[in-house]
Chain A
Amino acid sequence: MAVYKRGYQRYQGPLTGHWTRLLSLPRFSWERLFQQRLVVLLLTASLLWPLLCGLFIYLSNHLEIFASLTNSRDSNNGLAKFMEINGNFFLIFMNAQSVFSVLLAALAGPGLIAPDLANNALPLYLSRPLTRKDYVMARLLVLVGLLSTVTWIPGLTLFGIQSGMAGWDWMMDHLRLAMALFLGFVLWILVVSLVALASSAYVKWKIVAGALVLGFFFITAGVATMVNAVFRVNWGTLLNPAKAMYVVWGEMLGVDSTVVGLSSQGYDGPGSVACGIALLCLVGVLGLVLERKLRPVEVIK
């Protein structure tokens, strides 16, 4: 029977479980996100670098292609060393992808909470079997899912490709890299997503919230440099989440900081543990911001 002829009847069938209900929120958000051309374009662009890295891995495992180009044994050795797939390679990969992840978060994040606050939609969500934590988790999942596609998923895919080409022994010897790729990116996604959600919760205008996400990373970098310069200290680096993350990644991947250009004279800032703690503190602060801002009703004290 046609819907308009049927009339309203109360639903009295079985209800879905908690996780099904919770995951419906990210599903609707993703559907809406992928209707935005800019998001799709950026997502596509952010997969170009992993593709190039995949090509690099192929070439590094087929150095015989270059054999005709170089004659000397030394240059062959130099090329082999340059094209070695190790922690340095993955650190550069992570660094590049982290930039894309920030851009994606700045584009997608503000549309998650700001419109709900602007249109007073929180009472609608929270009058359903959904707590504030569930709401934040659902919104976080939107970004975690989106950013995963440009971070650890291509990262582990590259690791898998390299393992496939280099063999079982290489994989077993470099399992640390896979762990670092996954955990390092998960921590980064958490930081970036929470920054995006907190910006979205604080500013009701999407564009301003997006600018705030980008601004956060620039401003913190500037503040960190200023603190280091003015007070002649090195702990200011802790205020720069991007650099702190880089230090943590370097440590996780077992990379020498002088090699990857943290400093030409070597890196003398806070260690990876301090940087990790600073990042976790930042996560905590951002969580508090969300806890404070996301309320179904505003109580004026």
Chain B
Amino acid sequence: MPPVIELENLRVKLGRREILKGISCRLGVAGQGRAIGLLGPNGAGKSTLIQTLLGFHQPMSGTAKIMGFDCHKQVREVRSRIGYMPESDSFIANMTAVRFLRQMGELSGLPKETALEKAHETLFHVGLGEARYRDLGTYSLGMKQMAKLAQAIVHGPPLVILDEPTNGLDPAARQRMLRLVKEMKEDHGMNVVLCSHLLRDVEEVCDEVVILKDGQVVHEADLEAERKSNRFFVELEVSGDDSGLLEALHKVGADGVGEGQGRWRIVLPPGVEIAVVWKVTAGEGLRVRKLTHRRDTLEEIFLRAVGHLARTPGETAPQEVAANGGL
């Protein structure tokens, strides 16, 4: 099956500034509902990448393809397969939600009667059923977000691009939004690209993650595999002479990196229990002052990728990923 998104040395220049500097990667699998998280610090090029995928910007060189269609040369084919929820407030003035969705559906190629039917159906689905005859201008911020999501999925596209979908939502609405996104991929087989600053949202919903920095891919990972591989991530603080600890760890199949002052980060391979760490430290005559055993969070993956944290042993250097053009 072809990838949902395929970028090949994509370079995009806005004005005189090069925003995307030769991005190459293959994301998602067409026909399988997967969610791809797009992360990066401000100015990393996330929005430019999304806009390029939508055909709003012309690439300087390289190609961007969605389901095999070139985003610049076959813009109509690409757009007919996409649902887009923009970050900023976007709606059509003086229009009820039903009318708005019906128009958006018809513009996407739904027949007249079907568009009306789908408009009602989608509004109920996102929780705006009771407010569907209200003017969009009177909606609260949370309702507008839901209306934006509804217009993105009214025509049932195979790929939905969501730009900061949980912005401005209260916790309950945020949960509902994330649940809807999960349903989109799990129940309806849609591929979702989720661009968000809220790492918890991405972590909760996404199967893959791409981290951009300065217009380049600095990390690209299968999130589920990443979670599993970091299941035995240990932070250890000991007192005493720890010069032989690394060798002792290697003997039990573990790896670690000393951060000085008795602080260690240790990765245990699958099947090795936490008790091994106690045995090794006891064997080295070290006193354990602190031992935390927790899952590696996406926040840590993100911070490491953008260079704010030391890398965990065995992890691919971000530069190498970028140089290899992804996985």
Interface mask (A88-130 → B, CB under 8 Å = 1, otherwise 0): 0000000000000000000000000001101111011111111
The reply to whether the CB of B323 lies closer than 8 angstroms to some CB of chain A is: no
Residues from chain A with a CB closer than 8 A to the CB of B120 are 3
Interface bracket on A: 35 or more
State in angstroms the CA–CA spacing of A120 and B106 once bound together: 19
Q: Are A120 and B14 in contact (CB under 8 A)?
A: no
Q: Are A11 and B110 in contact (CB under 8 A)?
A: yes
The reply to whether the CB of B172 lies closer than 8 angstroms to some CB of chain A is: no
Q: Given the known A-B contacts A15-B109, A129-B76, are A124 and B92 also in contact in the complex, defined by CB atoms under 8 Å?
A: yes
Q: Are B108 and A129 in contact (CB under 8 A)?
A: yes
Interface of A is mostly: loop
Residues from chain A with a CB closer than 8 A to the CB of B14 are 299, 301
State in angstroms the CA–CA spacing of A169 and B269 once bound together: 99
Residues from chain B with a CB closer than 8 A to the CB of A25 are 103, 107
Residues from chain A with a CB closer than 8 A to the CB of B195 are none
The reply to whether the CB of B315 lies closer than 8 angstroms to some CB of chain A is: no
Q: Are A119 and B92 in contact (CB under 8 A)?
A: yes
Q: Are A120 and B103 in contact (CB under 8 A)?
A: no
State in angstroms the CA–CA spacing of A13 and B156 once bound together: 10
Residues from chain A with a CB closer than 8 A to the CB of B76 are 18, 129, 131
* B residues apposed to A, CB below 8 Å: 14-16, 51, 54, 56-57, 75-77, 79-80, 82-84, 86, 88-95, 99, 103-104, 106-112, 114, 117-118, 120-122, 124-125, 129, 151, 153, 155-156, 188-190
* A residues apposed to B, CB below 8 Å: 3-4, 6-16, 18, 21, 24-25, 28, 32, 115-116, 118-121, 123-131, 295-297, 299-301
Identify 27 residue pairs between A and B in the complex whose beta-carbon atoms are under 8 Å apart, listed by A's number.
A7-B121, A9-B121, A10-B189, A10-B190, A14-B111, A15-B108, A15-B109, A16-B110, A21-B107, A24-B106, A32-B94, A115-B93, A119-B93, A121-B93, A123-B54, A123-B56, A124-B84, A124-B151, A126-B54, A127-B82, A129-B77, A129-B79, A129-B107, A129-B109, A296-B56, A299-B57, A301-B15
Lowest 8 A-B CB distances belong to which pairs?
A: A10-B156, A15-B109, A301-B15, A8-B125, A127-B84, A115-B93, A11-B156, A24-B106
